[in-house]
Homo-oligomer: A and B are copies of this chain.
Amino acid sequence: MDIFEAIKKRRSVRDYLEKEIDDKIINIILEAAREAPSASNRQEWRFVIVRDKITKDKLCEAAKNQTFMKKASAIIACCAQTDNHVMTCGQACYPIDVAIAIDHMSLAAVELGLGTCWIGAFYEDKVKKILGIPENIRVVELLVLGFPRNKPTHPKNRLPFEKIVFFDKWGNSK
């Protein structure tokens, strides 16, 4: 499928088949992350792949018991090994750069018939403790990955084009 189809098909999937995912698939998805761009090519992203049941259950608990996470094939802790560099525009590099890499993974997953869900509702200190992540590393998101139980077909609820796109000046819709 082309990129537009992948973008259109991508949904946040919260209902998974309990099915193992093998290294080959994990590697393809992580390779999509590795190819991402980053500010000054800093590549601060780091990923911890979790597939064993006990650790997934612990991560679910650290993520406010979003129980669907337990059935996913993998949970990827998307981290940053960062010097906290801030760009001239005032934004830190690392949340943006990790997000780009995660987006690559979530689109790659669609191409492979897999589903994902970004999780930001988790206690960072608990996740760090579970996965042995050092103090100086940030955990930016958890990415849930697995085989969707159903083909997600619910419509996307999005703001209309003219509310988010302006031409030449702020507020100038066409």
The interface residues of chain B lying within 8 Å CB-to-CB of A159 are 34, 43
Contact B3 A108 (CB under 8 A): yes
Q: How many residues of A contact B (CB 8 A)?
A: 85
Would A161 and B103 count as touching, CB distance under 8 A? no
Contact A168 B96 (CB under 8 A): no
- Whether the pair A3, B1 counts as a contact (CB closer than 8 A) is yes
Given A3-B3, A43-B158, 14 extra CB contacts under 8 A? A2-B2, A3-B107, A3-B110, A30-B164, A30-B165, A34-B158, A46-B170, A48-B168, A48-B169, A49-B165, A49-B166, A89-B120, A90-B124, A93-B120
1/0 contact trace for A7-49 toward B, CB 8 Å? 1101010000000000100011011111111010101011111
| Closest residue on chain B to residue A123 by CB atoms | B88
Q: Taking the complex as formed, is A92 at the interface, i.e. its CB lies under 8 A from any CB of chain B?
A: yes
- A75-107 vs B, Cβ < 8 Å mask (1 yes, 0 no): 000010000000111111101111110111011
Please, how many angstroms separate the alpha-carbon atoms of A23 and B1 in the complex?
25
CB of A99 within 8 A of CB of B103, answer: yes
User: Which residue, of A8, A31, A137, has the highest number of chain B Cβ atoms within 10 A?
Assistant: A31
Cβ B45 vs Cβ A164 within 8 A = yes
Query: In the complex, how many angstroms separate the beta carbon of A59 from the nearest chain B beta carbon?
Result: 12
Say whether B137 contacts A170, CB under 8 Å: yes
When distances are taken between beta carbons in the complex, the residues of chain B under 8 Å from A131 are: 169-170
Known: A131-B170, A132-B171, A169-B131. A35 touches B8 (CB 8 A): yes
Which chain B positions have C-beta within 8 A of A98? 96
Q: Which 4 A-B pairs have the closest CB atoms?
A: A87-B120, A99-B99, A96-B99, A103-B103
